[in-house]
Structure 1
Amino acid sequence: MKIVFMGTPDFAAHFLEHLVASDNEVLAVVTQPDRPAGRGRVLTAPPVKVAAQNHGLPVLQPLDLHSPEFEADLRKFNADLFVVVAYSILPKNILGVARFGAVNVHGSLLPKYRGAAPVQRAIADGLAETGVTVFRLDEKMDHGPILAQRTVVIDHQDTTASLLEKMVAPGCEALDDAIAQLNNGCEKDLTQDHAQASGAPKIKKEEGLIDFSLPAKVIHNRIRAFNPWPGGYGKLGGRMVYLRKTDTPENGPKLVPGEVAFDGKRFFVGTGDGVLEVLEIQAEGKKPMPVADFMRGIQKREGLAFC
């Protein structure tokens, strides 16, 4: 299968590497333009571009997917298939350029969690499992017929970063399944049950602000979902801190929402239902650290609380 790959972040780069190592022929890569990154705002190539350059693949970084020039550039490759992983919604004219159209690798069991943040939303909702879906792209978001799916378990301490890592292997397996169906002319093309669809809108930074009046389990899930970005954060002792890893112990001190208590090397915060134990924390401008190290640097005074 002659493939043009489209994607941008680290997650997508894993799928590009898989396709390059397979029996398929990757003709070119399409990715987002280089962007300023880091404190120095240095112009930085997206991970997919870096991977493509390592393999000597042509790279397209269009500013406008609707431009005639982009369509003309794609047609030159005479591709059988476009494989899309964490890129952009493709215009109708682009979907028809490749012989088999375009397939997308999406981080949920569609039709659940359509949108930009399926992994984060599944964790935040406290699900025990999610999955990866490979489907045919059409003009609507995450709407097309399904070719292959694989289920992925969400563990109690999984974060967005760790769950994305767990999705790579089953996602590559599902992608291989879908490509084989297209090659053999035996596509499943299972129409999604659109009545069961749910949304996964893009995460906003302000969603990371922790509301300690919520139950401990809800807060724990949101902290995991927003790791690494935007993080679960609040003000403690006048400075912003991020709770990077937490747990929800069965037994702990009785605290009002936001109230902090120390028990030896353990750090607890009260919530609207139950207590949250902080295992890893990060002061603004600092690196994440075990809570015991953080506790040595603060005054363990009575009445300390998040606000």
Structure 2
Amino acid sequence: MRIIFFGTPEYVLPILEMLHKAFRDKIGKSSGIAAVVTQEPKIAGRDKFLAYSPVDTWAHKHKTPKFHNPSELVEKEISADIGVLASYGKIIPKKVLNHFPFGIINIHPSLLPKFRGASPVQASLISGENQTGVTFIKLDEELDHGPIISQFKEEIQMADTTESLRNRLFERSAEVLKTLLPAYLQGKIKPTPQDDKEASFTRQLKKEDGFIDPKAIKAAMQGKNSKKKWKIPFIKNYSLVPSAYSLERFIRAMQPWPGAWTTIRIKNNELRIKILKAHIDTKDAIRKTQYERSNNTSPVSRIPYLVMDEVQLEGKNSVTWKQLMEGYPEARLV
């Protein structure tokens, strides 16, 4: 079996490594990977050096042919039975889709047709889903639209960030693909069309998407919900009520990039502050309930509030919220 892999970031390497090892030739000398297609290196850092993608680096290490333009596969007649795509990050031209006898399998980290597009893991966390999963589809010309080959579900843990959940999804995808791929090539699986009426969409995250209104944070830290709904810009037609729970989920969803942030006023300066970690607590509400009971009044229900655990002012080291307030007692969320 000859496979061409399309991918870019580090978290897809478990899939690439599995394909490399599991689908060698019969004598075990030749890799199952005929070539990789990944994004071109980008200029990075103050020294303006070329930063190669993790998949590019893997290909160099394993002496595997690599391409930065998928059309080169057709032009240079690089043959393979099937393509496997995981977070490649660019559109695949029709002539490349038609280049493979069995097409290209796209590994998408959501339960399609829910959360098509570039940010499905973040969307699953923000929306408060109890579970998400991975969908294997046969790639076509539309965005995450192709027929479904297989799906699996994965529980979302209370402390999951985008990084932890995404890593787990792709590690498990490698295990599933090991048996799924031969069955698909043998014609044992018939892809089924997606229900387009149930589709929802996400877009690529931008740096500014991590912003949280400081008034919403202030309210959540006091155990209050904001009255104004918050439109999440990278999830199409989606908004939520800012609360302790929804803001805590959002903070986790923004890790590792772009990171959740807000603005804080210190004296006459408005500064950006990153919110690295937060949690939900109810201790103050519990104490109030006990006080009410001791005075034979009606008990008060537990009210969750947001606790900021770790924050970072621009240009400074990360500190706890308590340390920030001790260092800048005049600081205000406004």
**TM-score w.r.t. length of structure 2:** 0.78
Distance 1:229 1:252, change over 3 A: farther
Letter in 2 for 1:21: K
2:201 aligned counterpart, secondary structure: coil
Please list, as runs of the form range in 1=range in 2, the aligned pairs for 1:52-67 lying within 5 A after superposition.
52-62=59-69, 65=70, 67=71
Residue 150 (structure 1) aligned with residue 152 (structure 2) = yes
Matches for 1:58-207 after TM superposition, within 5 Å? 58-62=65-69, 65=70, 67=71, 69-73=72-76, 75-76=77-78, 78-87=79-88, 88-207=90-209
Q: Does 1:277 align with 2:311?
A: no
CA contact (8 A) 2:14 2:171 kept: no
What CA distance in whole angstroms lies between the structure 2 residues aligned with 1:124 and 1:296?
27
1:151-300 to structure 2, matched below 5 A, reads: 151-211=153-213, 212=216, 213=226, 214-236=242-264, 237=266, 238-252=270-284, 274-289=304-319, 291=320, 295=323, 298-299=326-327
> Match for residue 306 of structure 1?
333
For structure 1, the 5+ residue unaligned runs are 254-272
C-alpha displacement of 1:39: 4.2
Q: Which residue identity lines up with residue 310 of structure 2 in the other structure?
A: E
Deviation at 1:154, TM superposition (A): 1.3
Whole-angstrom distance in 2 between the partners of 1:176 and 1:287: 44
Distance 2:250 2:159 in 1: 11
- My pick for the range that moved more, 83-92 or 111-120, is 83-92
Change (3 A) 1:304 1:274: farther
SS at match of 2:58: helix
Aligned residues: 280
- Counterpart residue identity of residue 97, structure 1: H
Q: Answer yes or no: is 1:2 the counterpart of 2:2.
A: yes
- 1:51-100, Cα deviation, whole Å (9 max, x unpaired): 111111111112xx5x5x45212x23x20001111112211111111111
> Corresponding residue for 2:52?
45
Q: 1:131 to 1:288 in 2, by over 3 A?
A: farther
Counterparts in 2 of 1:297 and 1:116: CA distance versus 1, 3 Å: same
- Tell me, in whole angstroms, the C-alpha distance in 2 between the residues paired with 1:299 and 1:288: 13
Please name the residue that 1:260 is paired with: none
CA distance in 1, matches of 2:204, 2:75: 31
Mapped partners of 1:108, 1:135: distance in 2: 11
State how far apart, in whole Å, the 2-side matches of 1:285 and 1:48 are: 32
**Cα deviation digits, residues 191-220 of structure 1 (max 9, x gap):** 212211111222222221112242111111
The secondary structure found in structure 2 opposite 1:175 is helix
Separation in 1, partners of 2:317, 2:7 = 29
| Shift of residue 40, structure 1, vs aligned partner | 3.6
Q: What is the TM-score when the length of structure 1 is the normalising length?
A: 0.84
> Which one-letter code corresponds to 1:60 in the other structure?
F
Identity %: 35
Q: Secondary structure at the match of 1:248?
A: strand
Deviation at 1:221, TM superposition (A): 1.1
What is the Cα deviation at residue 35 of structure 1? 0.3
Shift of 1:281: 2.0
Residue 286 of structure 1: how far off its partner (Å): 4.2
Q: Secondary structure at the match of 1:105?
A: strand
Bigger CA radius of gyration: 2
Structure 1 residues 278 and 80, CA gap change in structure 2 (3 angstroms): same
- Which structure 2 residue ranges, 5 or more long, are not aligned? 25-31, 217-225, 227-241, 286-302
- 3-state DSSP class of the match of 1:57? coil
2:18–2:178 CA contact under 8 A, matched in 1: no
Offset of 1:148 from its aligned partner?
A: 1.6
State the distance in 2 between where 1:131 and 1:38 align: 35
